[in-house]
Amino acid sequence: MLYWLLYPFHDQFIAFNVLRYITFRSAYAMVTALVISFLLGPWVMRKLRALQGRAAVREDTPVTHQMKVGTPSMGGLLILGSIVVPVLLWGDLGNRYVQLVLATTVCMGAIGFLDDYLKLVRKRGLVGRYKITGQLLIGLGVGCVLYFLPVQPEIASRTSLPFLKNVNPELGILYVFFVAFVITGASNAVNLADGLDGLAIGLCALAFLGYAALAYVSGNRNFADYLNILFIRGGGEVTIFCMAAVGAALGFLWYNTHPAEMFMGDTGSLALGGALGVVAVLVKKEFLLLVIGGVLVAEALSVMIQVSSYRWRRKRVFRMAPLHHHFELHGWPETKIVVRFWIIAALLVMLSLSTIKLQ
């Protein structure tokens, strides 16, 4: 909005010329998100307590989690506001990619909010198949827009593979379903990782930081040509969204760090995961999400392995799934698990960024 309103006057007011730079607007999007989180966080917590929007803790979780009963949930509303407002202020709202990532984030957040609200009023959330159906429909919608209304028709249904130079497979109409799978998988991975204070939000902050760098170089013709990666015309604007998400994540972490004063709930986890998935799609780095979000992938795989093993062998592979609960039952303190998972995630982000230079 500020870009639209103020940049046209850059000839009369030279100071407005800074708005042309994605780096400047990205930095201020992050700062704006942080400020919104700090200013609105206490108010949101008071409102959630007044509405009795409190988290219910699974009975089969480690006993240390039972003391968290009564912590306000649905804090994802704060995350959503802290992302959407800065992007509206500093982003180019005429950019197709900005429109898509904002719409996906809000729609995924709406599904999560409905699930959280039903848990609050009926003590039972949205039926699993309905939740998955909603996520898939959103993913298919994004895939259809990218395939049938492409910004760059020549790369509309292509993806890229890490470590491989100029290998960009053409998926054709299958790309629509591939997009839906990536977005749905990412949203559920974050949802499953949201089990320890600060864990999921910290992992998301690191992942969005990595994708901010990838979006910036992918949207710059000189950098893209030098690094032998696909040039995404207009893709640099996604950097602003990613940095707003980093700011929102850090701001929420202020309240979510152990012991958490507020949980994000499905409102936040589905929105962040869906946003992460669509960002990976927009910059054509879908497979790299397996590395950047490696800890999130491990959390999701641990659940899949546990369920499959118990169904077919009547045996458990892990003491408890997702993976963070397995380490809890091994005696690791919650804070130690969270910090160690963050360290691993940071290493994976650095590894991911190195792949674009190794091509």
* Structural tokens at position 153: 């028709």
- With b for 16 or more beta-carbon neighbours within 10 A and e for fewer, the 186-223 pattern comes to bbbbbbbbbbbbbbbbbbbbbbbbbbbebbbbbbbeee
Backbone angles phi, psi at 329, to 5 degrees: -75, -15
| Three-class secondary structure of residue 190 per DSSP | helix
Is the overall model pTM greater than 0.85, yes or no? yes
User: Tell me, what's the pLDDT at 119?
Assistant: 86
Handedness of CA 224, 231, 228, 28 (dihedral sign): positive
The pLDDT tens digits of the residues spanning 229-269 come to: 999 999 999 999 999 999 999 999 999 998 889 999 999 99
| Three-class secondary structure of residue 156 per DSSP | coil
Of the candidates 75, 81, 116, the one whose C-alpha atom is nearest the C-alpha of residue 256 is 75
User: Tell me, what's the pLDDT at 162?
Assistant: 86
Going along the chain, which residue ranges are E strands? none
Q: Please calculate the CA angle 51-57-63 and round it to the nearest 5 degrees.
A: 140
User: Tell me, what's the pLDDT at 62?
Assistant: 61
Of the candidates 182, 217, 196, the one whose C-alpha atom is nearest the C-alpha of residue 23 is 217
Give the helix/strand (H/E) hosting 259.
none
Each of the 359 residues of the chain gets a pLDDT tens digit; together they read 676 666 565 656 666 677 789 999 999 999 999 999 999 999 999 988 887 655 555 555 665 555 667 788 889 999 999 999 999 999 999 999 999 999 999 999 999 999 998 888 887 888 889 999 999 999 999 999 999 999 999 999 999 998 887 889 999 999 999 999 999 999 999 999 998 999 999 999 999 999 999 999 999 999 999 998 999 999 999 999 999 999 999 999 999 998 889 999 999 999 999 999 999 999 999 999 999 999 999 999 999 999 999 888 888 888 888 999 899 988 899 999 999 999 999 999 999 998 887 76
* Structural tokens at position 207: 């992942």
Cα(312)–Cα(151) distance, rounded to whole angstroms? 46
